[in-house]
Amino acid sequence: MTVDVLMTAPTMPLIVDGVDKAFRLHKLWEAKDPKAKLAEIAPIIRGIALGGHTRVDEAFLSQFPKLEIIASMGVGYDHVDGAVAEKHGVIVTHTPGVLDEEVADTCLGLILCAVRELPQSERYLRAGKWLNKNYPLTSTLRGRTAGILGLGRIGKAIARRLEAFGVEVCYHGRRPQPGVGYVYYPTLKELAENVDMLVCVAPGGAETKHLVNKDILESLGRDGVLINVGRGSVVDEKALIQALMDKTILTAGLDVFEDEPRVPQELIDMENVVLFPHVGSASVHTRNAMGQLVVDNLIDYFAGKAPRTPIPETPWPRKRAK
């Protein structure tokens, strides 16, 4: 039996080709009138390969009476209302695991760039300033303590790397984790007060919005370093800009922003901050693995197998039938 699968926006060829080979694929972005096309095909759609930043909420899901599964690209899924999907009997999958090491590598690169001012020193050389005098001495990782906000798979991979660099690690999350040897702080404020580098790997969403605010940045201190490779919404960007301007903290390294790809000009103009364009998992190897997981989740589900990586809000097997 042919299964109709919708793709909402352009995505990597590996996903398009993989889904097209296994199912009857409907590419919404190719329609002359996407709204009319969606109204036409929505009653037969059983699966969705989610592209772009399509918001999955009640209004979106109510269009698809036969929808069974949504396969989303990326480990973060704050664009998906998992509770509403579960209410509709729709399984939602994402792509965790396969990107952990890549993001952790990027995070360590971002830390080194922020603390040792590596991009700034390269610009210094390119501008010919080294001909006149050496680049100024920088801060260091030596003697630092790192606090990780969100000690999940990626957080643990970052922690292992920090340990290899001789950096002490502690963490904050909803609860202490069994079998974890790092010091746990029950509140983010306590963590910030006891570290001089805060590494944010927390997911987005209402619960984590602006967790890192003016108070937390002040607690981090004047030698403090803020690193964010989780979600931009976790950090109050206005408070961070002010803290950097006032030298409330030393520096920041950011791979994510509140309104991507729009980055505040104040951050772009600053020298005491390092900015990456959300490249945490952006290698050919890792993005191919993520894309294949999108395809495999759909193929396995419609073959009668368990989807590989359902989000916690829509567990497998289903709690209730649609």
Q: pLDDT for 177-190, tens place per residue?
A: 999 999 999 999 99
- Indicate the domain borders of the chain: 4-98+285-302, 100-275
Distances from the Cα of 220 to the Cα of 226, 229, 252, 283, 287, angstroms: 8, 18, 12, 32, 34
pLDDT for the residue numbered 317: 86
Mean per-residue pLDDT for 224-242? 98
Mean per-residue pLDDT for 66-86? 94
- pLDDT confidence tier of residue 42, bands split at 50, 70 and 90: very high
- Average pLDDT in the chain: 96
User: How is domain 100-275 classified at the architecture level of CATH?
Assistant: 3-Layer(aba) Sandwich (3.40)
User: For 212, which DSSP code?
Assistant: B
CATH superfamily assigned to domain 4-98+285-302: NAD(P)-binding Rossmann-like Domain (3.40.50.720)
Among candidates 162, 55, 57, which has minimal Cα distance to 111? Answer: 162
Q: Are 285 and 100 in contact (CB under 8 A)?
A: no
Whether residue 209 is predicted with pLDDT greater than 60 in this model: the reply is: yes
- pLDDT confidence tier of residue 319, bands split at 50, 70 and 90: low
Q: How far apart are CA 56 and CA 46, in angstroms?
A: 15
Catalytic status, residue 94? no
Kindly name the residue from 231, 237, 258, 287 that is annotated as catalytic: 231
Kindly name the residue from 278, 308, 313, 318 that is annotated as catalytic: 278
Catalytic status, residue 231? yes
Please list, in sequence order, all residues whose beta carbon lies within 8 angstroms of the beta carbon of residue 309, skipping any fewer than 6 positions away.
93, 94, 95, 96, 97, 293, 297
Mean per-residue pLDDT for 240-263? 97
What tens digit of pLDDT does each residue of 150-167 get? 999 999 999 999 999 999
Among candidates 124, 102, 105, 115, which has minimal Cα distance to 252? Answer: 115
Pairing of strands 69-72, 4-7: unpaired
Please list, in sequence order, all residues whose beta carbon lies within 8 angstroms of the beta carbon of residue 131, skipping any fewer than 6 positions away.
none
pLDDT for the residue numbered 1: 66
Question: Could you tell me what percent of the chain has a pLDDT over 90?
Answer: 95
Q: The whole model's pTM is what?
A: 0.93
The helix/strand/coil state of 292 is helix
Whether residue 171 is predicted with pLDDT greater than 50 in this model: the reply is: yes
pLDDT for the residue numbered 322: 42
Structure tokens that stand for 22 in this block: 């296994």
Is the backbone peptide bond immediately before 261 cis, with ω within 30 degrees of 0?
A: yes
Kindly name the residue from 58, 122, 207, 260 that is annotated as catalytic: 260
Mean per-residue pLDDT for 280-297? 97
CB atoms under 10 Å from CB of 13, counted, come to: 10
Catalytic status, residue 53? no
